[in-house]
Chain A
């Protein structure tokens, strides 16, 4: 059965997570209840995802390199390129240990309930690897092309690993939709012995309405950009569907890895790295 390869350090079969981030000018538009620019919301989401990856791999002795990780930004200079900050600025795919060692820890403020209903601000340390950027157009097809070039080498080095998982986070207005769909198709056709590359799309949209996760068809989606991103998304593999269904309604056989204004952390938790436990509520 595909998509069952063990993500293992001892067998040198890591998984690969590649994030493609829309950094085009439209990402300056406000989004969500607090009206922050989409680019800021996405930077927070990416840093949160990377933080989740590092924490998942952290053990007593340090970190276990279960994943190779990359972040590609597309927009500035009307091109696509790796978008790491600071120590990683010239890097492409990096191991989790490198990710952990290069985190910039900054202090921000978080509001919490003081216990009597009033809110107080407390300082909170947060890691970051990625800054918000919003300029120029949306060369999404170039991001898919760079992803394919990067993953070609990775697959050659890890032919029996769990296939790479690509997350494209965007507000969904590519320069050339047809070319983007075509390049996305080529990316999805790449494969390890355990299955094809998985392409998941996370749509950040200013359209109001409820979050949509793993839809089965495009008819229920609110606009043509969401529909295009749905078409570009991989079917959720059976093991992922089983996990997604465990605590919620059943996920249909035709469900795709597409999220509309929904949290993407869940998608990372689907990737199995040994004995896990339920999220404790």
Chain B
């Protein structure tokens, strides 16, 4: 039963691998914790090995237990258990000369995560009425992004704010402790009050760049992308929503509007009215 101080919260996630690549090979991971209202995407680097495994460990860690302290020492203490887990999962004795050397250089992933504050369980699976006085804690490292759509426009974005920033290799979180000396500098956080009508998008780089480009360049095409995102949230059938998502992404790849890269995206809407 809702009262006037509640908003209807909905969340949906989508993930697709590069063209002609099975989803098992997708190196973008999603962390999804509906009991606590925590969400994350992590983009594992193509240029490192065992990066899908690292991205997945990182996304899961974030939604189970976000870092309580983002100082250099705090972040290292937070990452330490999954760094060990990552190294232990590699079949070192089965690796040849090159694979062993490559794995020794570590795996890397960027991250964008969001936590509802206070931690909020979704009452009906991926949706439900929750307190209106909800805040969101944003965390981002480089080009995995979070956008806040308000009144039809991108009102805020973290950490990249322009499509031109998606150029060159980003800084990423490493599976080796000694590679994360600068992580605290790149870890950006902010607390944001959610409002009725807000839509948060948590996205890895390819789709994030596509959305920012459309917003910057063309009102009509931005409108089309926004309607697509809205549809994805409100299609009741999960499978149909996934198919719609895959079709749209593949069409944009064919027209070269969207780079052929792995994609992970989470949509989180705060509405007055539910389904």
Using CB atoms and an 8 Å cutoff, list the residues of chain A in contact with chain B: 6, 8, 10-11, 54-56, 58-60, 62-63, 100, 103, 105, 125, 127, 239, 242-243, 246, 273-281
Is A275 a contact partner of B43 (Cβ separation < 8 A)?
Answer: yes
**10 more CB-based (< 8 A) A-B contacts, given A274-B46, A276-B47, A278-B170:** A55-B101, A55-B105, A63-B98, A246-B167, A273-B46, A274-B18, A275-B261, A278-B171, A279-B169, A280-B174
Is B49 a contact partner of A60 (Cβ separation < 8 A)?
Answer: yes
Is A275 a contact partner of B47 (Cβ separation < 8 A)?
Answer: yes
Q: Does B113 contact A (CB under 8 A)?
A: no
Within the complex, the shortest CB–CB distance from A276 to chain B, in Å, comes to 4
Residue in B21, B46, B97, B261 with the greatest tally of chain A CB atoms within 10 Å: B46
Is A278 a contact partner of B169 (Cβ separation < 8 A)?
Answer: yes
Residue of A nearest to B52 (CB): A60
Q: Top 6 nearest A-B pairs by Cβ distance?
A: A274-B46, A276-B169, A10-B20, A277-B172, A277-B108, A58-B102
Is B97 a contact partner of A125 (Cβ separation < 8 A)?
Answer: yes
Within the complex, the shortest CB–CB distance from A73 to chain B, in Å, comes to 24
Is A275 a contact partner of B205 (Cβ separation < 8 A)?
Answer: yes
Residues of B within 8 A of A62 (CB): 99
Residues of A within 8 A of B48 (CB): 277
* 29 pairs, A vs B, C-beta closer than 8 Å: A6-B259, A10-B260, A55-B102, A55-B105, A58-B102, A59-B49, A60-B49, A60-B50, A60-B53, A63-B98, A103-B97, A127-B98, A239-B167, A243-B169, A246-B167, A274-B46, A274-B47, A275-B43, A275-B205, A275-B261, A275-B262, A276-B45, A277-B45, A277-B170, A277-B171, A278-B168, A278-B170, A278-B172, A281-B181
Distance between Cα atoms of A25 and B167 in the complex (Å) = 43
Give the residues from 179 to 224 in chain B that come closer than 8 angstroms, CB to CB, to chain A.
Answer: 179, 181, 205
Distance between Cα atoms of A273 and B46 in the complex (Å) = 7
* Size bracket of the B interface: 35 or more
Residue in A10, A242, A277, A279 with the greatest tally of chain B CB atoms within 10 Å: A277
Q: Does B6 contact A (CB under 8 A)?
A: no
Give the residues from 248 to 264 in chain B that come closer than 8 angstroms, CB to CB, to chain A.
Answer: 259-262
Give the residues from 91 to 130 in chain B that come closer than 8 angstroms, CB to CB, to chain A.
Answer: 97-99, 101-102, 105, 108
Is B167 a contact partner of A242 (Cβ separation < 8 A)?
Answer: yes
Is B97 a contact partner of A105 (Cβ separation < 8 A)?
Answer: yes
Using CB atoms and an 8 Å cutoff, list the residues of chain B in contact with chain A: 18-21, 27, 43-50, 52-53, 97-99, 101-102, 105, 108, 167-172, 174, 179, 181, 205, 259-262
Residues of B within 8 A of A280 (CB): 108, 174, 179
Is B170 a contact partner of A58 (Cβ separation < 8 A)?
Answer: no
Residues of B within 8 A of A54 (CB): 98
- A275 touches which one: B44, B50, B101 (CB < 8 A)? B44
Residue of B nearest to A56 (CB): B47
Within the complex, the shortest CB–CB distance from A140 to chain B, in Å, comes to 32
Is A127 a contact partner of B172 (Cβ separation < 8 A)?
Answer: no
**Given A6-B259, A55-B98, A58-B98, A277 and B50 touching (CB < 8 A)?**
no
Distance between Cα atoms of A55 and B99 in the complex (Å) = 8
Is B19 a contact partner of A100 (Cβ separation < 8 A)?
Answer: no
Distance between Cα atoms of A103 and B97 in the complex (Å) = 10
Residues of B within 8 A of A11 (CB): 19-20, 260
Residues of A within 8 A of B261 (CB): 274-275
Residues of B within 8 A of A278 (CB): 168-172
- B47 touches which one: A103, A239, A277 (CB < 8 A)? A277
Distance between Cα atoms of A60 and B53 in the complex (Å) = 10
Is A6 a contact partner of B260 (Cβ separation < 8 A)?
Answer: yes
Residues of A within 8 A of B171 (CB): 277-278
Residue of B nearest to A66 (CB): B46
Residues of A within 8 A of B260 (CB): 6, 8, 10-11
Distance between Cα atoms of A127 and B45 in the complex (Å) = 25
Residues of B within 8 A of A8 (CB): 18-19, 260
Residue of A nearest to B262 (CB): A275
Within the complex, the shortest CB–CB distance from A179 to chain B, in Å, comes to 38
Within the complex, the shortest CB–CB distance from B251 to chain A, in Å, comes to 16
**Given A277-B170, A278-B170, A10 and B99 touching (CB < 8 A)?**
no
**Given A242-B168, A243-B168, A277-B171, A58 and B49 touching (CB < 8 A)?**
yes
Residues of B within 8 A of A279 (CB): 169
Is B45 a contact partner of A275 (Cβ separation < 8 A)?
Answer: yes
Distance between Cα atoms of A11 and B43 in the complex (Å) = 21
Residues of A within 8 A of B52 (CB): 60
Residue of A nearest to B171 (CB): A278
Residues of B within 8 A of A59 (CB): 49, 102
- A246 touches which one: B21, B44, B99, B168 (CB < 8 A)? B168
